[in-house]
Amino acid sequence: MDLKRAHLLVTPTSYGKNDPRLKTQLEEKVETVAYNPTGKPLSSNDVAALLPGVDGYIAGLDVIDRAALESADRLKVIARYGVGVDNVDLESAKEKGIIVTNTPGANSVSVAELALGLMLALARQIPEAVHSVQQGKWPRYSGVSLEGKTVGILGLGAIGKQLARRLAGFDCQILAYDPFADESFARERNIELASMDEVIARSDFLSLHLPLLPETRGLVSQEFLAKMKKGSFLINTSRGEVVDEEALQRALGSGYLRGAGLDAFTVEPPDPANPLLHMPQVIATPHLGAQTDGATSNMGWFAMADCLAVLDGEEPKYRVA
């Protein structure tokens, strides 16, 4: 179609925040651009109300289910601003001839940096120490060094690789599992590839970098946690649904696990009464892994390029369905 006649919907709240050119260039190329009116991820009803007359949709963490897509009378492409497409009903999109894309690798460095930050903050009890000093106390915490420890990575994809690169300077042993592991990368980085059970059992710090799939939903169960080394730490910067939160609470409450760093929850934002939020050995962050200047700009450029490519009759670079 003629891009100058295209109508776009852009819902990620950080789109163009760190690079205004994302908005100005997009607005120059198409007829109209409508932005998220709520300042937060959209519900199915919100999406349904906004889709009529829209040709291209650069989507944040909105609920894009069958009900939402029923009102898509002109939509040709959903360009996910991020990697996960679990909120998109791919079958419904396919039925309506809508192409779905995402932005793999755009936020990998930022998420890896957060995972490492959570690891260090847990190891040295940084939030607790800060709080104590603010209260006029001067405690002597006994921390854990990464040096000489085993760090396990479940999912050696783009983010897992970036984490491994950053861990290389900490003189720790890196252990990883991935069903499609890049063996040459592992050899070059002195990463030991092992089975999932072995990575779980041997790791002092276990970092999750898994997509949300039927086989990973609830993967971190009571049985999974019982396989972990006593006194170890769990870090999750992937999807909240991967972790059974009640089982994790029990493992932490009993002292079997020493701590957890969580950037994702099953329900977001989590209920303030969620017990995990009130455990001193838990560091919780508001799903901010991709919220850096570099990541948001990369996701914006990737999503915009693929959205416009589809509308211009070209094949997108990062097609999912």
The 3 state secondary structure assigned to 145-208 is CCCCCEEEEECCCHHHHHHHHHHHHHCCEEEEECCCCCHHHHHHCCCEECCHHHHHHHCCEEEE
Contacts of residue 293, Cβ cutoff 8 Å, sequence gap at least 6: 18, 19
Degrees, nearest 5: CA angle 99-57-88: 60
Report how far Cα 257 is from the mean position of its chain's Cα atoms: 23
Cα 255 to Cα 8, 44, 252: the distances in Å are 51, 40, 5
Query: Per the residue annotation, which of 31, 95, 246, 268 is the catalytic one?
Result: 268
Query: Per the residue annotation, which of 80, 209, 239, 258 is the catalytic one?
Result: 239
Active site residue 268: yes
Instruction: Give me the sheet containing 205-208, strands edge to edge.
Output: 192-193, 173-177, 150-154, 205-208, 233-236, 259-262, 282-284
Cα 271 to Cα 31, 63, 250: the distances in Å are 41, 19, 18
Query: Per the residue annotation, which of 7, 124, 166, 287 is the catalytic one?
Result: 287
Active site residue 128: no
Active site residue 287: yes
Degrees, nearest 5: CA angle 72-78-81: 140
Q: Return d(Cα 72, Cα 78) in angstroms, integer.
A: 11
- Point out the residues that are catalytic: 239, 268, 287
